[in-house]
Amino acid sequence: MFSIIGPRSCDADFSIFNLSFKRRIMVAPTKTLCPYCGVGCGLEVLPPALPGKPVTRDSLGNPMWQVRGDRNHPSSKGQVCVKGATIAESLEKDRLKVPMIRDSLDQPFREVTWDEALDRIALQIKKVVAAQGPDAICMYGSGQFQTEDYYIAQKLIKGCLGTNNFDANSRLCMSSAVAGYIQSFGSDGPPACYDDLEETDCAFLIGTNTAECHPIVFNRLQKHHKKNRNVKLIVVDPRATSTTKNADLHLAIKPGTDINLLNGIAHLLLRWNKFDSLFIDECTAGFATFAKVLKDYPPELVARDCGIRVDDLEKAARYWGESKKVLSLWSMGINQSSEGTAKVRTIINLHLMTGNLGKPGAGPFSLTGQPNAMGGREAGGLSHILPGYRVVKNPEHRQEVEQVWRLPEGSISPNPGLAAWDMIVGLEQRKVGVFWVAATNPAVSMPDIERTKSALRKSPFTVCQDAYYPTETAEFAHVLLPAAQWGEKTGIMTNSERVVTYCPKFRNLTWDARADWEIFAEVGRRLGYEAAFDFESSAEVYDEFVRLTQNRVCDMAGLSHERLRNQGPIQWPCPEWEMNPQQSGKRLYTDQRFPTADGRAKFSAFHAKGLAEPPDPEFPLVLTTGRLYGHWHTQSRTGRIPKIVKMHPEPFLEIHPRDAQKLEIEEGEWVELRSRRGQAKLPAQITKAISPGTVFMPMHWGALWADDAEVNALTHPAVCPISLEPELKACAVQIIPLRKSREQSAVQAQESGKNNLSASAALGSRR
Ligand SMILES: Nc1nc2c(c(=O)[nH]1)N[C@H]1C(S)=C(S)[C@@H](COP(=O)(O)OP(=O)(O)OC[C@H]3O[C@@H](n4cnc5c(=O)[nH]c(N)nc54)[C@H](O)[C@@H]3O)O[C@H]1N2
Ligand SMILES: Nc1nc2c(c(=O)[nH]1)N[C@H]1C(S)=C(S)[C@@H](COP(=O)(O)OP(=O)(O)OC[C@H]3O[C@@H](n4cnc5c(=O)[nH]c(N)nc54)[C@H](O)[C@@H]3O)O[C@H]1N2
Ligand code: SF4
Ligand SMILES: [Mo]
């Protein structure tokens, strides 16, 4: 297991500092939230302790801030993982410090003032709207926005400009979970909370490497599992990971066979009479149709399709049937699929069938990936939704938002805007006149990266608003805007369990970087919408936003910056009158009524369709992709932290010994991986952790960080027809051994001047 840094070891890090705490400290630690994953751990940030000098306001601005877990944060109780613990090391490195412009991608950037950059963007928007209409404007944002950033972007794009072309990287992430919740329950919103990790008697983890990607959630679950021998832990993943290590049952299914498995479990529960008929009768609809589908999933067939043993399948069903409180956790192994929504709904079916919902220790719990992807959902940050868990297609919802925004009726378009991949297609077809990217790095993270890059090359005007430079996407930008990041702006973030945390600015910069919401608001004012963006602070923005959540499932009308600053993190729902939300709001649907027309939750009936691109004789292996414990996505921060680079120095391909033997590949040997769209070269890691027929590659190495190891050079853009989330977890590949030892290649890499820690130089030479 990884070393999780708990309160004790954090204290050790700060022991010298704490010794003289009383005498010398003049600045109290700032409480905030970790800006990496959706676990949302509370952090305390301290100004640097300079040797022999007291800590004063003067030391604010020193790069080496100290970070430790906040013991009072309800979600993490003082724990942090390596990413949170090292975050301060990345704050000053390779920052984008001035706005830059160029007319075409073959020109060098020139530094400009903020005024010039913002005027240029406003002018371009006006021109494009006049010539092509508002639907030629696209903004592509991120779950790493604060809620205020998200909210102002919606007001500008969907309200003032009248196009719903705002989408976020969450489309690649949890949009299948959103769609599944909406269709099954009538609303988005994960019904469970982290306390359920310590209350459950059966944790069902499917398509999630929780130990590496949501470490503190896993830590809480693992402690409970270790302490209580009757508690079961089931993990469904084609790979053995740190998450599967102590599981009571690891089902290493073939990629893409989750629906077979879930329907197979339901088939057995039905056969064994292990379902909650009272719950089904009183609280749900659609069971009969679901039961009919289940006939086609007898255990022998399911076990064969999934590539597992019948007795293991039966064991999983038995655990489900015999447990009183089943908690499912899932993330990208489920969501990133061409049948992602169907998978989510099929998980929810099991909960509805067994009444495992709205009570302690039970529920279908989607783990959000990014620190504020949940806030994005609340603020309407996808192209088909509006603030307050509303949907674009609903005329009443549009009207309610227009009223708060003081816009004439009909200002918000009734048509959902372009989803992430459709924006790329729009660029390809030259239908997009302004592509504005903020807090995401699509030149690495989108599927089919060569196609994505050639679409980006066709863009007449791309704005890239990021905290760091270079990034892979900056190479395709006409305008670069330096964004203030975590600790440099004040705003709000919501974690996976609906806990809302105030994240204040705690450090001053020596350059002029701006909060994302301020940039959007300033462009809005330059477009003539002065009144709409007349905000003096992010607290005012938040006040307007929470009004739009009133009486909705995600009611946060009782929250404000002031209350969150004074009282600490608060879980929603938190209506205006709610004095003690921590007591009342832990779980949703405790009354077993759902926000659907008839108050009932809906069963769905989906047959398994399998992978969008199944293996075939030419491309016989399935490539799956994912994350490593230390790195964060495209490495903009973690690639600049030596400790983490040391932990995961290079990309690799996991391959089963049987496949390696067939291809005559040796450990560490470099291989070329090919799909129908592109190729990558990387060393093989031979391991039984991966099932035969499947290979795994981490997603973290974009063009800046390694030569030819881009995972998305291989992936395809087929999406789930309901959530429009791409199937980033599976594509068909072939492997060609390169007959080149790892050592030889390392020498070569050095000669080509590539160095993990000097990405700047790499991009510089490319321009
Ligand atoms: N260390 C670290 N933590 C992170 C992040 C990070 O970059 N680094 N990113 C954050 C974000 S935004 C996200 S979305 C989350 C993602 O968190 P996770 O979803 O846990 O991470 P992944 O590694 O993408 O994928 C999870 C697992 O899905 C499995 N899988 C692949 N195909 C299938 C399948 O067909 N069925 C099933 N059942 N499983 C399959 C993979 O083998 C993998 O182990 O992590 C968050 N936390
Ligand atoms: N093959 C494959 N592809 C995948 C995935 C996968 O599992 N497999 N996972 C998908 C998922 S789930 C996700 S979430 C995406 C993630 O992919 P991306 O969103 O592209 O990855 P990040 O590296 O997190 O990019 C965030 C950028 O925002 C910048 N940034 C940080 N804070 C701020 C801020 O406050 N303001 C601004 N303006 N910029 C800021 C950072 O410097 C960084 O460049 O990748 C997706 N792509
Ligand atoms: S578990 Fe997630 S939120 Fe917590 S410290 Fe690690 S990266 Fe940050
Ligand atoms: Mo994500």
Query: What does the CA dihedral 267, 273, 275, 279 come to, rounded to 10 degrees?
Result: 130
Residue partners of 509: CB distance under 8 A and separation at least 6: 61, 484, 488
Closest CA to 422 of 407, 392, 442, 397: 442
Nearest alpha carbon, ligand 3 atom 4: 41
Q: 630 C-alpha to center of ligand 2: Å?
A: 15
Distance CA 463, CA 440 (A): 12
Q: What is the mean pLDDT of residues 590-598?
A: 96
Determine the residue of 332, 367, 645, 694 to mutate for testing ligand 1's pocket, defined as the one with the most ligand atoms within 8 A of the Cβ atom: 332
Instruction: Identify whether 573 is preceded by a cis peptide bond (ω within 30 of 0).
Output: yes
DSSP, collapsed to helix, strand or coil, labels residue 589 as coil
Determine the residue of 68, 144, 216, 499 to mutate for testing ligand 3's pocket, defined as the one with the most ligand atoms within 8 A of the Cβ atom: 216
pTM of the model: 0.93
Q: 33 C-alpha to center of ligand 3: Å?
A: 9
Residue with tokens 């530094």: 111
Nearest alpha carbon, ligand 3 atom 2: 37
Instruction: pLDDT band for 578, please (50, 70, 90 cuts).
Output: confident
Nearest alpha carbon, ligand 1 atom 33: 333
Instruction: pLDDT band for 740, please (50, 70, 90 cuts).
Output: low
Nearest alpha carbon, ligand 1 atom 17: 213
Tell me what pLDDT residue 453 has.
Answer: 98
Ligand 1 site, residue 447, Cβ cutoff 6 A: no
Nearest alpha carbon, ligand 1 atom 24: 626
Q: 207 C-alpha to center of ligand 1: Å?
A: 7
Helices (H), ranges, 284-379: 287-294, 299-306, 310-322, 332-335, 340-354, 373-378
The highest-level CATH class for domain 2-90 is mainly beta
Share of the chain above pLDDT 70, in %: 90
Q: 113 C-alpha to center of ligand 1: Å?
A: 40
Is residue 264 pLDDT above 50, yes or no? yes
Closest CA to 235 of 256, 210, 201, 268: 210
Residue 356 exposure: Cα atoms within 13 Å on the Cβ side: 32
CB 545, CB 148: distance < 8 Å: yes
Distance CA 303, CA 314 (A): 10
Q: What is the mean pLDDT of residues 659-680?
A: 97
Q: What is the mean pLDDT of residues 528-542?
A: 97
DSSP string, 571-586: ESP--TT-S-HHHH-S
Q: What is the mean pLDDT of residues 638-648?
A: 96
CB 499, CB 216: distance < 8 Å: no
CATH code for the part of the protein at 621-743: 2.40.40.20
Indicate which atom in ligand 2 lies nearest the CA of residue 173: 12
Counting ligands in written order, the one closest to the CA of 631 is 1
Instruction: pLDDT band for 282, please (50, 70, 90 cuts).
Output: very high
Tell me what pLDDT residue 342 has.
Answer: 98
Q: What is the mean pLDDT of residues 312-318?
A: 98
**How do the domains of the chain map onto residue ranges?**
2-90, 100-170+372-580, 175-366, 621-743
Instruction: pLDDT band for 74, please (50, 70, 90 cuts).
Output: very high
Residue 446 exposure: Cα atoms within 13 Å on the Cβ side: 28
CATH code for the part of the protein at 100-170+372-580: 3.40.50.740
Q: 344 C-alpha to center of ligand 1: Å?
A: 15
Tell me what pLDDT residue 47 has.
Answer: 83
Tell me what pLDDT residue 759 has.
Answer: 46
- Our measurement of the distance from residue 72's CA atom to the centroid of its chain's CA atoms, rounded to an integer in Å, reads 25
Instruction: pLDDT band for 586, please (50, 70, 90 cuts).
Output: confident
Determine the residue of 208, 445, 625, 627 to mutate for testing ligand 1's pocket, defined as the one with the most ligand atoms within 8 A of the Cβ atom: 627
Residues contacting ligand 2 via CB (< 6 Å): 142, 144, 169, 172-173, 332, 336, 369-370, 438-442, 444-445, 465-468, 471, 483, 485, 516, 625-626, 633-634, 636, 699, 711-712, 715, 728
Tell me what pLDDT residue 64 has.
Answer: 76
Nearest alpha carbon, ligand 2 atom 24: 633
Residue 361 bridge partners (DSSP): none
Q: What is the mean pLDDT of residues 425-438?
A: 98
Q: What is the mean pLDDT of residues 164-188?
A: 97
CATH code for the part of the protein at 175-366: 3.40.228.10
- Residues recorded for the chain: 767
Distance CA 207, CA 230 (A): 23
Instruction: Identify whether 51 is preceded by a cis peptide bond (ω within 30 of 0).
Output: no
CA distances (Å), origin 524, targets 122, 338, 539 = 8, 37, 19
Residue with tokens 């905030």: 32
Ligand 1 site, residue 332, Cβ cutoff 6 A: yes
Residue-wise pLDDT for 21-47, tens only, equals 343 456 789 999 999 999 999 999 998
Tell me what pLDDT residue 177 has.
Answer: 98
Q: 35 C-alpha to center of ligand 3: Å?
A: 8
CB 280, CB 266: distance < 8 Å: no
| Highest mean pLDDT (candidates 40-54, 163-177, 567-581) | 163-177
Q: 175 C-alpha to center of ligand 4: Å?
A: 10
Residue with tokens 């088909």: 384
Residue-wise pLDDT for 215-247, tens only, equals 999 999 999 999 999 999 999 999 999 999 999
Element containing residue 520 per DSSP (H, E): helix 516-526
Determine the residue of 699, 705, 710, 723 to mutate for testing ligand 2's pocket, defined as the one with the most ligand atoms within 8 A of the Cβ atom: 699
Q: 292 C-alpha to center of ligand 4: Å?
A: 35
Share of the chain above pLDDT 90, in %: 88
CB atoms within 10 A of CB 318: 18
